[in-house]
Amino acid sequence: MKEFSLLDIKCRIRHPESNGNIERFHRSLREEGLSDKQLEDAVNMLTTKTIISCEAEHESRLNTKKLLQSGSQRSLFILLFIFGILLVSNTKICFSQEKPTNAMPKAKWLYQRGPFDPRPYKDTLFDRGLIDADYFNMKNRLWIEKGISFGGYVSANIQWGSEGGPSHGISETLLLFTWEPVRKANSSGRLVVGFAYDLTFWRPTTREFADNQRIVETPNDLDTDPKLTFATLGLLHWEHEWNTGLDRGWGIRAGQLYAPSYFGPATYLDDDRRFFMARPLGAAAGAQWVGYNDIGLGLNGIYWNTPINLSVAVLDGNANRQYPDLGSLFDADLLYLGEIGLEHDVDGPNQAAIRLTVSHLEVKDGANPLFGSGQSIMLSGDIRFQDLWALAGRWSKSFNRLSADYKELFSLGIMWLKPFGRMQDLVGFGLFAGKPSDASRNLESGGEIFYKLQLTHAISVTPDIQYWLRTDNNSENIHTWIWGIRSEIEF
């Protein structure tokens, strides 16, 4: 460490890729020390030097502790996850992230787009492309040496429906910036900025396209309705954390927050730019605040003591969602959020997490009813099996204020993580069942399957097909097929 003038940052809320030399040791041992992967450049050599500098005695104690706990914790996680699915399976609606304690959330804007970029990849369809390996090596070197990170993506999709009508096309551009000027032995602090711009190429908008296809929810999570564009400075906050012991600490976030990044994540059910496109599988659509009252000025406190973590937040529940809205903040229309989570084998091949999230939204306006507050509850979880398969599930329900398209939703996703031996590709199969807020419409259910093909380090394409089913009170059976394709350039 001293030879290369490196700092060992011992705590990073929900970002294991940058979680000090201890966690970096485990990841590199798994990916480099036990494989034939060659260290081809200075960044890889630098990382390896960091690994070697771990103290053997501390590693021995840590591994002994994990060995004693892993068997019982893993069994507990599997039982809790299965129990949650079985519990809600008996309800009328036919119901069947991880909150790593010291890593950034694997959710819509930050999952694998955080300060330490996992690229360059070693297994893509084409070795070279628009952005080559030198760019990503430069990014990681800049983060290691200067505490500065930047990136984002440009993503676009086109969809067609079996009910006819014009196709639907929409894109999103995301820009992220992180600056970490505080790097101490047991604490770190950084500024996080995120800007998103959504563009509907032509009418119909996502909402109009869903109406044309006679479905209640939308076939992708992006929407600009009623206009053709939407821009938001969704992230502009300072976050700071303090490590108070082995796998124990606390942290705060203050500023413009995007709540779904930090509450209720089910890793593979949170991002319609990377995984499933249909909104019931790409967002917690059964909670009335998600997508409606989820961006605003606020404060978030986090505490972790592995394997348990707690998070509470309060933010402006009636902001305009496009920029830090100081005027709305003084109206005292607030969103309160609380979450408790349990996790196992963080960043390991059998990583698992389960969490319970509750909310109270105190806003005067809305729909169904027209005025009043509302609450929601959410149970979410995900588990990986030997880094080959993954399972993610979520149940969410709203009470009193039924302003979302669904008042209750169950979603389940099954992921094939390394299809046909291709390390960077991904196959997903998802099922959902949602109860509409509109009492005249009955249960809506469906499924989706996609294949994400990683062409280069930066470019991927994803063909996708969805099936939607609903029988309304007028006995009309609605069967709708949606097929589409998504492309993404991630930089």
CA–CA dist 15, 116 (Å, integer): 9
Tell me the CA distances in angstroms from 66 to 46, 50, 61, 271, 472, one per residue in order.
Answer: 27, 22, 9, 31, 52
Classify residue 314: in a domain, yes or no.
yes
> Please, are residues 287 and 396 in contact by the beta-carbon 8 Å criterion?
yes
Partner residues linked to 297 by β-bridges: 256
Ranges assigned E (strand) in 326-404 = 334-344, 352-362, 374-385, 389-399
Burial of 29 (0-12, 13-18, 19+ CB in 10 A): middle
Structure tokens at 274: 């990377």
What residue numbers bound the domain in which 126 lies?
Answer: 16-490
Classify residue 38: in a domain, yes or no.
yes
Q: What pLDDT shows up at residue 40? A: 45
Query: What sections of 124-178 are H helices per DSSP?
Result: 133-146
Query: With 50 as the cut, is the pLDDT of residue 70 above it?
Result: no
Classify residue 8: in a domain, yes or no.
no
Q: pLDDT band for position 117 (50/70/90)?
A: low
Domain count, the chain: 1
Classify residue 9: in a domain, yes or no.
no
Separation of CA 230 from chain center: 21
Please count the residues of the chain.
Answer: 491
Classify residue 394: in a domain, yes or no.
yes
Q: Of 306, 305, 368, 366, give the one whose Cα is nearest residue 333.
A: 366
Query: With 90 as the cut, is the pLDDT of residue 408 above it?
Result: yes
Classify residue 219: in a domain, yes or no.
yes
pLDDT tens for each residue of 421-455: 888 899 999 999 999 998 888 999 999 999 999 99
CA–CA dist 292, 198 (Å, integer): 16
Q: What pLDDT shows up at residue 200? A: 95
Query: With 80 as the cut, is the pLDDT of residue 111 above it?
Result: no
Q: What pLDDT shows up at residue 426? A: 94
Classify residue 6: in a domain, yes or no.
no
Classify residue 295: in a domain, yes or no.
yes
Burial of 387 (0-12, 13-18, 19+ CB in 10 A): middle
CA–CA dist 226, 204 (Å, integer): 10
Q: pLDDT band for position 203 (50/70/90)?
A: very high
- DSSP letter for 9, please: -
Judged by average pLDDT, the poorest of 79-88, 271-280, 290-299, 376-385 is 79-88
CA–CA dist 170, 482 (Å, integer): 15
Judged by average pLDDT, the poorest of 76-90, 108-122, 206-220 is 76-90
CA–CA dist 317, 461 (Å, integer): 36
CA angle 22, 26, 32 (to 5 degrees): 125
How much is the average pLDDT of 352-371? Answer: 82
**CATH assignment of the domain containing 149:** 2.40.160.10
Q: Which amino acid is at 365?
A: D
CA–CA dist 253, 302 (Å, integer): 8
